[in-house]
Amino acid sequence: MTYASVIVDLTAQAVDREFTYVVPDEFNVSPGDMVLVPFGNKRLEGFVTSVSETTDVPQGKLKPIRKKLFEQSVILPELLELAGYMRSRYSCTNADALRSMIPAQLRGGRIREKTVRYVTLNVDYSLALERTHRAPAQRKVVEALKEGGRTSAELFSQFDIAPAVLSALKEKGVIGFSAHAVRREPLHNDGGRGNTDPVLTDDQQFVADRLIKEMGEGQTFLLYGVTGSGKTEVYIRLIREVIKQQKSAIILVPEISLTPQTVGWFHARFGDLSAVIHSGLSAGERFDEWNRIRRGEAKVVIGARSAVFAPVQQLGAIIVDEEHEAAYISERSPRYDARDIAAWRVQKNSGVLVLGSATPSIQSFMRTSPKVRPENRIQLLELDKRVHNRPMPQTQLIDMRSELLEGNRSIFSSCLLKELKQCMKNGQQAILFINRRGHSSFVSCRKCGYVVKCPNCDVAMTYHLNDRTLKCHYCLNEIPLPGTCPECASRFIKFFGAGTQKIEQEVKNFIPEARVIRMDADTTSTKDAHAKLLDSFAKHEADVLVGTQMIAKGLDFPNVTLVGAVAADTTLNLPDFRSAERTFQLLTQVAGRAGRDKLPGKVIIQTYTPDHYAIQCALRQDYRAFYHSEVLFRKRSMYPPFTVIARLVFLSKDKCGCQNTANNALNEFKSQVEELGLAGTVLSVTVSEAPIKRIREEFRFQLIAKLFSGSNVDLIEGVMHRIEQKSDDSVKIEMEINPNNLF
């Protein structure tokens, strides 16, 4: 008999192990197959992890697999091994890890290949004419099928054929029906780049040659290239070599908004060898692209974070563009970092990993130092000039405090407004960036100071002008804009702060003839919205692009000569130790959208804190100066990468129960750390309310432990898990190591 070890598709810790089943003789089951198995009194889906001719499980306890769900295995052997790594590395269940590797709709049989009904002649053409000589409509079908088959939909639409005609022909044996699979293809647009490889600069060629030379060594490189230095062309040359060697490549981008343009560029160069995976696709498109990759038809995969799990075979290279982005870290279980997964896969396949950015993360750049241990060190490659020696954009800093003293209460400085009008006059385009959507960041009563907050979350609600509603950006709750203050009934309700909608409105107020596109989470919620908005802007159907951070990086529009960072301080004052780093990265990246072609660019940064080193370094586009200042701050304050932060977040609708569980966890943590002899590795440990105290009606407390860098993080994670197991079941607990944010 043959036996299969199966991970049942349940994420509960209690069943997080392999179960053994008998493989019926009629099934040919292999590791990576999805199967239907009996589990208790239910039938559940599961993943086969191994197959054996022997088992230690008593025969009386064994049950047979009920069904093999797909003809082809859905998870490659490499990805099965990766799931084991993820379970250990990210403290998740096997099912959580395996679910990450397939389209969600594959589970439960919610998606299949799309098929169409195909019609062909079953008999010789002359015989078909003879059998239909008294039926003109039937003969019309025979004539249409003379040169080959057609879909029934084509016959109905193009030849005005009724379904009854086909039924009659079927009864006569003249035609036959068959199901043909058709591909649901995502939208592609190359942004006018075309399919020709430009000649590389000497610097680009040097970097490309170095990467190609190191293929097959399992090496990781940090490609630090200023905005407009041509990193994408280097990626393309590397991928050409990968394909030449009959291997595959994965290109990761952080935002869905970047994916359409990036996909278009790669599709123009590699045609149907390229495939795309990201959450903006329909379920059918995502499945079809995944299936093409699984069958080996696509060798170049482009997508957001989850594309790192693409079932490519013979992996030669992974490229992580804009490697500094927090979007590469999943905020749901499994809380994986796509860069770690990429490194694991590259080493497994002896490929090459390229981390590319104009503003590398502090951790990545620090790993290029010769002082780093060899096993953690990565190699640095640089592109420090724009292609064709085009100048970096001219930057100007505007102190908005001075504007206010001069009587300008507008969200635009006089300088930015002047440059914006001149840009429109010259027939050029502008990008205005503010990292907040909506019209106003909060609504307050000028009489009593009341701020309208979400009833479910401890956050101010944002005013949206289009439908005159207040919205919570955490739980998506909406309420009408109150006419009077809910607290004191005053009519002195005022909007404070600014978001993308207000910027859009103000541009139209000051420059009525300007055509404006707004790009934020509200305008890009529908399918292909990102691609359509960017395509419209690329065709100069709009003069000004207003947006949040989704427009700050990766985009390339030759006619954009002006960039305005309307509120540079938005991210600078967030309660997170990375706020300066993220501010510098955003400002530097958005500045890089200007002057990328022959026309020179200008950048205007509006701020209330002009002397902050993050603002000053972004103004000069000086990454190294920022790096040294930030490293000094992190070292003095003992923040990562000099320490490791472990965080437990406790969530419950019962505030007292949540707080008590957090306090009990603190005592348990101290006890376990002392028992295991880890006290010397813990710098500090505290319990407090989370900065956002309540989300979706759940109160939030957090335990934060700061550990010395190099501490035994695995043991600390073990301590955290013991706390989880001993905690009150009514309180949910989320664990993170070096969390993406501390809100």
Task: Determine the Cα–Cα distance for residues 671 and 675; give it in Å rounded to an integer.
Answer: 6
Residue 369 pLDDT exceeds 90 = yes
Helices (H), 426-526: 500-510
- Of the pLDDT bands very low, low, confident and very high (cuts 50, 70, 90), residue 281 is confident
Q: For 148, what's the count of Cα atoms within 13 Å in the CB-facing half-sphere?
A: 0
- Residue 362 · residue 231 · CB < 8 Å: no
- Residue 16 · residue 58 · CB < 8 Å: no
- Beta strands 42-52 and 2-8 are antiparallel
Residue 391 pLDDT exceeds 80 = yes
Q: Does 318 or 547 have the greater pLDDT score? A: 318
Q: Which CATH number is 390-438+500-635's, of 3.40.640.10, 3.40.50.880, 3.40.50.300, 3.40.50.1820?
A: 3.40.50.300
Q: Which range is least confidently modeled, 161-170, 514-523, 668-677?
A: 668-677
pLDDT computed for residue 720 by the predictor: 67
Residues in contact with 178: Cβ distance below 8 Å, sequence separation at least 6, in sequence order: 117, 118, 120
What average pLDDT score do residues 485-503 get? 81
* Degrees, nearest 5: CA angle 101-102-108: 135
- Equal CATH topology for 202-385 and 390-438+500-635: yes
Q: Does 147 or 249 have the greater pLDDT score? A: 249
Task: Determine the Cα–Cα distance for residues 694 and 653; give it in Å rounded to an integer.
Answer: 9
pLDDT computed for residue 508 by the predictor: 93
- Residue 595 · residue 388 · CB < 8 Å: no
What average pLDDT score do residues 59-67 get? 93
Residue 52: its H or E element: strand 42-52
What average pLDDT score do residues 203-217 get? 93
What average pLDDT score do residues 9-16 get? 89
pLDDT computed for residue 385 by the predictor: 93
Residue 191 pLDDT exceeds 60 = no
CATH number of 202-385: 3.40.50.300
pLDDT computed for residue 440 by the predictor: 58
pLDDT computed for residue 165 by the predictor: 92
Residue 718 pLDDT exceeds 80 = no
- Of the pLDDT bands very low, low, confident and very high (cuts 50, 70, 90), residue 439 is low
Residue 213 pLDDT exceeds 80 = yes
**Closest Cα partner for 115 from 169, 158, 151?**
151
pLDDT computed for residue 84 by the predictor: 94
pLDDT computed for residue 299 by the predictor: 96
Give the rounded percent of residues in the chain with a pLDDT score beyond 90. 54
Show me where the domains of the chain are located. 2-109, 114-182, 202-385, 390-438+500-635, 440-497, 643-737
Residue 707 pLDDT exceeds 90 = no
The single-letter DSSP state of residue 272 is: G
Q: Taking the chain, what is the end-to-end CA distance rounded to the nearest angstrom?
A: 54
Distances (CA, A) of 626 to 361, 554, 583, 622, 631: 11, 21, 11, 7, 8
Against a cut of 0.85, is the pTM above it?
A: yes
Residue 74 pLDDT exceeds 90 = yes
Tokens of 38: 């009996």
pLDDT computed for residue 728 by the predictor: 66
Q: Does 415 or 453 have the greater pLDDT score? A: 415
- Of the pLDDT bands very low, low, confident and very high (cuts 50, 70, 90), residue 486 is confident
Residue 719 pLDDT exceeds 90 = no
Query: What are the backbone angles phi and psi of residue 646, rounded to the nearest 5°?
Result: -105, 135
Q: Which residues pair with 686 in a beta bridge?
A: 704
Task: Determine the Cα–Cα distance for residues 622 and 645; give it in Å rounded to an integer.
Answer: 28
What average pLDDT score do residues 188-206 get? 80
**Closest Cα partner for 150 from 125, 114, 175, 113?**
175
Q: In whole numbers, what is the pLDDT of the chain averaged over residues?
A: 89
**Closest Cα partner for 208 from 217, 370, 199, 308?**
199
- Of the pLDDT bands very low, low, confident and very high (cuts 50, 70, 90), residue 571 is confident
What average pLDDT score do residues 50-63 get? 92
The single-letter DSSP state of residue 689 is: E
Q: Does 616 or 111 have the greater pLDDT score? A: 616
What average pLDDT score do residues 385-402 get? 92
Q: What does the pLDDT look like over 221-237, one tens digit per residue? A: 999 999 999 999 999 99
The maximal CA–CA distance of the chain, rounded, in angstroms, is 96
pLDDT computed for residue 188 by the predictor: 67
Task: Determine the Cα–Cα distance for residues 149 and 661; give it in Å rounded to an integer.
Answer: 68
Residue 20 pLDDT exceeds 80 = yes
Residue 355: its H or E element: strand 352-357
- What is the torsion angle, in degrees rounded to the nearest 10, for the CA atoms of residue 679, residue 684, residue 685 and residue 689? 180
Q: Which CATH number is 2-109's, of 3.30.70.100, 3.80.10.10, 3.40.1440.60, 3.40.47.10?
A: 3.40.1440.60
What sign results for the dihedral spanned by CA atoms 311, 317, 322, 326? positive
Task: Determine the Cα–Cα distance for residues 186 and 292; give it in Å rounded to an integer.
Answer: 13
Residue 131 pLDDT exceeds 80 = yes
Q: For 127, what's the count of Cα atoms within 13 Å in the CB-facing half-sphere?
A: 8
Task: Determine the Cα–Cα distance for residues 578 and 565; give it in Å rounded to an integer.
Answer: 19
pLDDT computed for residue 713 by the predictor: 66
Residue 710 pLDDT exceeds 80 = no
Q: Cβ atoms within 10 A of the Cβ of 638, count?
A: 14
Residue 477 pLDDT exceeds 90 = no
Q: Which range is least confidently modeled, 5-19, 222-236, 241-255, 514-528?
A: 514-528
Task: Determine the Cα–Cα distance for residues 520 and 439; give it in Å rounded to an integer.
Answer: 12
pLDDT computed for residue 258 by the predictor: 67
* Degrees, nearest 5: CA angle 282-84-46: 55
Q: Which CATH number is 643-737's, of 3.30.420.40, 3.30.70.1440, 1.10.3720.10, 1.20.1730.10?
A: 3.30.70.1440
SS3 state at 545: strand
Q: Which residues pair with 429 in a beta bridge?
A: 560
What average pLDDT score do residues 536-552 get? 90
